[in-house]
Chain A
Amino acid sequence: AQSVTQPDIHITVSEGASLELRCNYSYGATPYLFWYVQSPGQGLQLLLKYFSGDTLVQGIKGFEAEFKRSQSSFNLRKPSVHWSDAAEYFCAVGARGNTPLVFGKGTRLSVIA
């Protein structure tokens, strides 16, 4: 079975600073990997996804993530954070076949001036 670990519960960054949110997964075969963002009181919105091919994937809102099989990681990055990026971020792993997504516990991002 798949599992996801997001080691950081809460991260605070200054506006304009770079950001990296960590995600480690456990799955025996090639995973499908996702990052979602949730603003307060809202549902989850997909930021980006990895299925195969290029291990560096670009998403919406200037986010990118890199799949590293050797490290079982799929870290999310953004070069310059904006105040509107303050939200909760979830990493998720899926697999081929009839397998629902498994989510990490999330990382809450705060942005300070």
Chain B
Amino acid sequence: DAGITQSPRHKVTETGTPVTLRCHQTENHRYMYWYRQDPGHGLRLIHYSYGVKDTDKGEVSDGYSVSRSKTEDFLLTLESATSSQTSVYFCAISQGQLEGTEAFFGQGTRLTVV
């Protein structure tokens, strides 16, 4: 299995509070991604990173921010959590699309906003 660790694995938080999810990799892959998974929607891209301090928005980026200060860590922050952000969040990594390589996924973080 690819060395990807997501933390926390489960979290319950209140509406309006900030939340940070962490993704840590030991593979030294250049690309890192945050997806959210919701019933009936599959996986939707939130943000991704193509290098340290290089990030870009995905399909559903509103209400989320990211940071990548080291190759191995990619943080996802919900600045003010809302109930619509209750979801399962997956981090993924890949060596790079130029090589056509696949993405490897973490185990997910289940976030509940009450």
Contact = CB atoms under 8 A, between A and B. Distances in A.
Interface stretch (B14-22, B71-79, B105-113): B105-113
A94 B97 contact: yes
Contact of B45 (A49, A100, A105): A100
Contact of B100 (A51, A90, A103, A104): A51
A34 B90 CA distance: 17
Interface in A35-70: 36, 42-46, 49, 51
B97 A44 contact: no
A103 to B, nearest CB: 4
Contacts of A102: 45
Interface string B79-110: 00000000000101000011010111111100
A99 B97 contact: yes
B108 A103 contact: no
Interface string B27-65: 000010101000011111100101000001010000000
A74 B100 CA distance: 16
B97 A98 contact: yes
A54 to B, nearest CB: 15
B86 to A, nearest CB: 16
**A49, A94, A98, A105 — which one has the most chain B CB atoms within 10 A of its CB?**
A98
Nearest to B35: A103
Contacts of A36: 105
Contacts of B45: 100, 102
Contacts of B42: 6, 90, 103-106
Contacts of A103: 35, 42-44
A43 B105 contact: yes
Contacts of A19: none
A87 interface: no
12 contacts: A32-B97, A32-B100, A43-B105, A43-B106, A44-B90, A45-B105, A95-B97, A98-B97, A100-B45, A101-B33, A101-B92, A105-B40
Interface of A: 6, 32, 34, 36, 42-46, 49, 51, 90, 92, 94-106
